[in-house]
Amino acid sequence: MSFQKDFLWCVGGAAAQQDGGYLDGGKGLNIWDALSDGRVKNGDVCHVACDHFHRWKEDLRLLKELGVNSYRFSISLARIYPEDEFTVNEEGVKFYMDLVAELDRLGIEPICTLYHWDLPLWLHERGGWKTSLAVEWFERFTKTIVDAISDKVKYWLTFNEPQIFVGHGYQIGEHAPFEKLSQKEIQNISRNVMLAHGKAVRNIHKYAKLPPKVGFASTCDMLLPVDGDEEKAYLATFDSTRNGVYTPSWWCDPMLSGKAPNGCEWLSEEDLKEIYEPLDFCAYNIYRADVAEGFDYRYTGNPFTTMEWTITPECMYYSAKFMYRRYGLPIMITENGMANTDFVYEDGKVHDPQRSEYLRTHIKNLKRAADEGIPVIGYSCWSFMDNFEWAEGYGKRFGLVYVDYRTQKRIIKDSAYTFRDIIKTNGDNL
């Protein structure tokens, strides 16, 4: 069997990681612009990044060369609402209107992420996700974007990895806004994000010009079966008491099923009614399987990426199987890829065979799930270009396209051609 004929072969990027254009075009500050100093490796900041804001036409031509039929991007919220919750920056809106118009001209399906971690600074200073203001503003922001680009966009993701921007940003303090709050405060922030999601989905359904397909991109913190015991791994994967805010069910149960998982009794029935709005697919990002007590598959000398993440291709198969079993929705992989030790060779090219192998083995495991009848509708490689890897700065390269940050020169890596060959056969050559 093959992936379905209209399978979404995608690459992704996020505004704060690649756009740059620090204060250009009327953009305001976001929390990564303003709060990163001294908190990111090597003193790196995202003010220029890949300069995608100025080079986007060149970059979209690269997308065509990669052979993808879809592109996942995110909205820079501070580019749309730079000062307050009422003042729209029309120049910022036009940037995204032009972007999706060019994607349409190139025959590339846009997949729009509304929030990919770059909270406007003005909103943060007024309490941000700790307050109901963020919920109300996100509803308004969503309508502004839907009104502007939904004539070209039908695939929408409300949030990217709430596990990480809440857990890393507010619980352990490794990501912006670099805070360490109590469990009760984390529950309140989680509730506000979930409520904002529900309002955003309703706005998309109400105002979208094209019939919308809506989801959100969860992190899939899943566990591999040990000794062949799939049931044990399934139950542990969705046990919210195991890993709290980082557990898939903490977010996915309320947002995909309208239910509170064990450990989330702080969500009321009224909350769940506001949070839940039927979604069209189950989207998630996955790079590796998790490790927990009784679920440790590591061995001496096992392979790691340069993020020191274990390489476990089987996570693609089991995550699709587990997520479909629990939520019953078509599966979309919204991020998968690896950070590698990439550099330009003497021949002027970037040879990255490890990434090529990573892509082949992981997509092959996803195809195994599809072959067993699980409806898999898309796969997005992370990332389109090397970019600002949050607290890791520019030292970790995930891209299919190499970026020389000194000159902004782009070089297509060998792995991009591997990915293109997979796309050409719709995965039949795996």
Query: Cβ-count burial of 343 within 10 angstroms (0-12 exposed, 13-18 middle, 19+ buried)?
Result: exposed
Cβ atoms of 190 and 197 closer than 8 Å: no
The catalytic residue among 109, 277, 335, 389 is 335
pLDDT tier for residue 115 given thresholds of 50, 70 and 90? very high
Kindly state the percentage of the chain with pLDDT values over 70: 100
335 assigned to active site:
yes
Supply the pLDDT for residue 1. 62
What tens digit of pLDDT does each residue of 217-270 get?
A: 999 999 999 888 999 999 999 999 999 999 999 999 999 999 999 989 999 999
Is the per-residue pLDDT at 299 higher than 80?
A: yes
Please give the average per-residue pLDDT across 200-210, as a whole number.
Answer: 98
139 assigned to active site:
no
What tens digit of pLDDT does each residue of 87-96 get?
A: 999 999 999 9
Is the per-residue pLDDT at 323 higher than 80?
A: yes
Please give the average per-residue pLDDT across 307-330, as a whole number.
Answer: 97
What tens digit of pLDDT does each residue of 36-54 get?
A: 989 999 999 999 999 999 9
Supply the pLDDT for residue 228. 86
Please give the average per-residue pLDDT across 158-183, as a whole number.
Answer: 97
**CA–CA separation, 189 vs 181, rounded Å?**
10
* pTM score of the predicted model: 0.96
Q: Are strands 409-412 and 401-404 parallel, antiparallel or unpaired?
A: antiparallel
Please give the average per-residue pLDDT across 144-170, as a whole number.
Answer: 98
The catalytic residue among 83, 102, 109, 161 is 161
Task: Write the Ramachandran bin of 176: left for phi over 0, alpha for psi from -120 to 50, otherwise beta.
Answer: beta
Supply the pLDDT for residue 405. 97
pLDDT averaged over the chain?
Answer: 97
